[in-house]
Every structure is written in structure tokens, then in C-alpha cells.
Amino acid sequence: MSQKDIYGWVDQSLSTIKKANWYRQTKAIAGKAGAVVELNGRQVVNFASNDYLGLAGDERLINAAIKATKEFGTGSTGSRLTSGHRDLHRELERAIADLKQTEDALVFSSGYLANLGTISAIVNKRDVIFSDQYNHSSLKNGAKLSGATCIDFPHNDVDALRALLAKHRQNYRRCLITADSVFSMDGDLCPLPQLAELAEEFGAMLLVDEAHATGVLGKTGAGVTEHFNCTGKPIIQIGTLSKALGSLGGYVAGSAKLIDFLRNRAATWIYTTGLSPADTAAAIAAIKIIQTESGRRQELWTNITQLKQALGKAEIVPSESAILCFGLENPEQALNLGQVLIKKGFFAPAIRPPTVPTSRIRISVMATHSTQQMQNLIDILQTHLPTS
């Protein structure tokens, strides 16, 4: 075979992806992050971002990032265990531990890497992982990377999980239960208190991914763990700095011993460059705002409630977060409504199988959407969603 055929499969794969209608492309957003952004040269109200509190464009985060860059430079220049560790990193880790009310925390370059590194460090081939079938890709790939036996349980089905634990737990050394705390494609919550009870009963560790919950849920914005009064329980909390915190990076929060262990065993932390000064400083500023300005979270929940009250019956499952999904009868209808929304100046994606079981429009609400912007969106959705 000639050299130029070696990569011929790429073209074939791409055409298969296109034929199945699974082909995806990036869309460029112009201008500053916020409730209104520029898409294809037009101003659209942004119902597609994870910037729930509107902090990614906040002057205080921007200024913190500029200040840290001027003081420390653009890159951290090395891994945390070599030349890349700064006091700023510890300051952020202490702020996360304070928000989460855990003994300590560790920041990774992304939430994805926090899951890969943590899961693959704490279990291996002698162990077993039980994971919710709707878990995020990073939890699933972390489980694969660990080499542990992976058993999926039906979404949020505590009885099914109990039966699986009863059947399989005793065949393995360590056991880990994993779940998103807010599920990203429906906006529903995991039954955390029941998961914690099962973990205790069966001698399992429990890891929850608070990516869409931190800053959004809980009295102080600490997430679903706080929302369900599970603060202080032996739960490993993963999260991201890139959603409500408006920065970039990920973290794990837990006991001081666990964090110390991860600093020695999490490959995606040890062998990668430390977080940049700008991202670190922006995240510190964000946590300060989350802890001192509960009004932002209240504004977010006012908007969520407005949308739920107007359209709740069209929701696929009742959401308990800033992610609300409204069902359409088929993929074509979802795509059409997505197009109608764009034409009217609203950016909200149509999500279709195979990403999710049923076609939908997925709305991410922000604290900084105005009441009028919310009402305009509701008016369009009410005229286009199925009425039953």
C-alpha cells in the first residue's frame, strides 16, 4: 500500500459520520461572553452557554486575570511538582475547599482531566465502578482508563443500583459509585442522599460531578451536595472552573488525605502544566463573588422559575437546575425550532438522538438574562412546542 493511502480511512469515516447526520462543526461566537453574543454577524440572546452567573464577561474576573498575567506571566511554565506551582494555585484550592466545606482541594487543567486523573488513581483492575448510564463522557472514560470493571446502572434508579451492588460488590476489592450531580442533557439531579446511603451500606466510595451545580445550587452555591444537606459526608466532589465560575480548569474537593494521595498518583495532574495565572486568578475572583453575592443566584432562579412556570409541562423531565429541555416529536421538528429561534435572535441548540434518546431544544438559563428576554423566548416556544 502506498504511503498516501495510510490516512484514507479518515475520509471514509467522515463520510460515514455525514451520512448518519452526526457530523458536527464549530460555530464562531464574536465579542465578549454574556447574555447577548454575536453569532454570524447578528446579536442573539445566548441560551446555549454554561456561564450561568454571567461571570465569564465580568469586569472583576477580567481585571483579576489581567493583573495576574502582568504579575506572573502568561504561562505557569511547568507542572505543579516541578517549576509550575505558585501560591496563587494554593489560594484557589483553599477557596474551593472553603466553598465546598471540605478539608482540601486540588485544581486540574480541566474538569475532564480531574475526572480522568481522580478515577484512574483511586481504583484499578481489582476494583469495580458503578456509574449512572447518563454520566458525562469524562466519568465514563475515567472509568475505562482505570482498568476497573465498569457496571452501568439505569439512570437515577436507586433500586437497580442496590441490586447490582448486592450481586457484584463482594467480588471486588474497592468499589466506586459515580454520578453527575446535575445531568447535562435533562437538568435533573442525582438522588445524592440515597447514593450516599448505598455507598455506606456497601462499603463504596462515592464520586459526584458537580460541573453544572457549583454556583447554581445550594444556599452558598456549593452545589447539589449542599442542596441535599450532604456537606461533610465522605463524598469526592469533582467540578469545573469553566461553567458558573467563568474561567478554565477543574478540581477535586475532598479529604486532606485523598488530595495528598492524588498529588502523588493522579497522572493527569502530575504530568501536565499547572493552571495559568490568568485562569487561576479569575476563578478565585469568581468564588469570592459566588460566596458574597447570593443575589446573582436568586436572579438565576427567578429566570428558571419564570421559564418553568410558563412551559413546565413541555419539559422532558422536570429540571431542578439551570438546564431546561423541551421535547419535540422528532429530530426535524427540533432542528426547525432551533432555526426559528436563531431567526428571531435566540441561540438555543436542538439536541437529537443519538446524543439523547428524544429530540429536544436545550435551554441554559443565565442570571443575566432580563425578564423581557425570558418572556420573548417563552412567547416563541409557546407558539412552536407541541400543545399536548
Question: Which residues contribute to the site for ligand PLP (CB under 6 A)?
Answer: 110-112, 136, 138, 180, 184, 209, 211-212, 240, 242, 250
The nearest distance, CB 277 to ligand PLP, in angstroms, is: 18
Give the nearer residue to ligand PLP in terms of CB position, either 146 or 373: 146
Give the nearer residue to ligand PLP in terms of CB position, either 117 or 373: 117
Any alpha helices (H) in the chain, and if so which ranges?
8-19, 59-72, 87-100, 111-122, 137-146, 158-168, 192-201, 224-227, 256-265, 267-270, 277-292, 294-311, 331-343, 371-384
The nearest distance, CB 313 to ligand PLP, in angstroms, is: 26
* C-alpha span between 333 and 385 (Å, rounded): 9
The nearest distance, CB 121 to ligand PLP, in angstroms, is: 17
Angstrom distances, CA of residue 24 to CA of 2, 18, 19, 42: 30, 9, 12, 21
Instruction: Report the residue closest to ligand PLP, judged by CB.
Output: 111
DSSP 8-state assignment for residue 206: E
The nearest distance, CB 384 to ligand PLP, in angstroms, is: 27
* C-alpha span between 66 and 105 (Å, rounded): 25
Give the nearer residue to ligand PLP in terms of CB position, either 139 or 230: 139
The nearest distance, CB 89 to ligand PLP, in angstroms, is: 16
- The residue type of 246 is G
The nearest distance, CB 112 to ligand PLP, in angstroms, is: 4
Give the nearer residue to ligand PLP in terms of CB position, either 89 or 136: 136
The residue with cell 472514560 is 141
| DSSP helix/strand/coil, 60 | helix
Give the nearer residue to ligand PLP in terms of CB position, either 131 or 240: 240
Give the nearer residue to ligand PLP in terms of CB position, either 117 or 338: 117
The residue with cell 466510595 is 205
| DSSP helix/strand/coil, 240 | strand
